[in-house]
Structure 1
Amino acid sequence: MKTMFKIGSIALMLLSFGAAAQSGNGLSYRAGDPFLFCTKGQDVKAPCWKPMPNYTGQFMFMPYCKPINPYGKSWTQDDTKSFQEYLTICPQAEDSGRWSGGGRPEYSPFKH
């Protein structure tokens, strides 16, 4: 029984370190993957902003949200927080680069 508890504790500790390592760049979205976040934005059906090429700080406000549409969808806390993170993190890239992995980047190595 003690051995199972120790193994469970070690696994939990490793998961915690993995989460801390992923979020070490300051991103709260897309599992801390800066390439995916800076090129695709947050993973929601109706975001109020989207990244634009060259993905180093350019963005577009969506027409179905405020302030573009005064009667549109209000920004959520995630819209606001992710937009602030985008403006902070993504302009640090000199170039966005291209995806060179197999399949779509949001599914490699897991869905995020």
Structure 2
Amino acid sequence: MKRRMLVGAMLMLCAEAHAFQDKGFYQELRYRDNDPFLFCTQGQKEPDKCWWPIDPISATYMEAPWCDPPNEYGKPWTAADWDSLSQYQQVCPQAMSRGSWDGRNGSPDTTPYQH
């Protein structure tokens, strides 16, 4: 009887411990100094980047009209364009909900420093 109670208590403790485990997602970003809010809302820092984020939760984006694709005469996508888009599509949809910038000391790309 005591053995059954001990086994039952251990099973309950294991179940509780499993329920409290962090099930979050993390992948280091190679852009925007690993700032997911800034990266998922503004994309790369490059001014002539070939894509812009539209909706990070659904990973939708817009291609720049001066790049190939979509413009067959445009500048080709760089390795950084393709890599950052891939990270955007993998990381940004993992967010549970959309957030908004509520910083009081500046914009997201200048707080706490320019990045």
TM-score for both structures, normalised by structure 1? 0.74
Q: Report whether the alignment pairs 1:41 with 2:43.
A: yes
Which SS does the other structure have where 2:67 is aligned? Answer: coil
Using the alignment, how far apart are the partners of 1:70 and 1:61 within structure 2? Answer: 13
Q: Report whether the alignment pairs 1:66 with 2:60.
A: no
Using the alignment, how far apart are the partners of 2:44 and 2:98 within structure 1? Answer: 17
Q: CA deviation at 1:67?
A: 1.3
Contact 1:27–1:85 (CA<8 Å) still a contact in 2? Answer: yes
Using the alignment, how far apart are the partners of 2:64 and 2:95 within structure 1? Answer: 24
Write the deviation string for residues 65-85 of structure 1: whole angstroms up to 9, x where unpaired. 111100001001110110010
TM-score for both structures, normalised by structure 2? 0.73
Using the alignment, how far apart are the partners of 1:25 and 1:33 within structure 2? Answer: 11
Contact 1:48–1:75 (CA<8 Å) still a contact in 2? Answer: yes
> Which residue is equivalent to 2:29?
27
Q: CA deviation at 1:108?
A: 0.5
> Which residue is equivalent to 2:16?
none
Q: CA deviation at 1:50?
A: 0.4
Structure 1: which 4+ aligned runs deviate by more than 6 Å? none
> Which residue is equivalent to 1:85?
87
Which SS does the other structure have where 2:109 is aligned? Answer: helix
Task: Say which structure is richer in helix.
Answer: 1
> Which one of the candidate residues 75, 78, 84 is aligned to 1:76?
78
Using the alignment, how far apart are the partners of 2:94 and 2:110 within structure 1? Answer: 24
> Which residue is equivalent to 2:111?
108
Cα RMSD after superposing both structures: 1.1
> What amino acid does structure 1 have at the position aligned with 2:110?
Y
Using the alignment, how far apart are the partners of 1:34 and 1:89 within structure 2? Answer: 8
Tell me how many residue pairs correspond in the alignment: 88
Q: CA deviation at 1:106?
A: 0.4
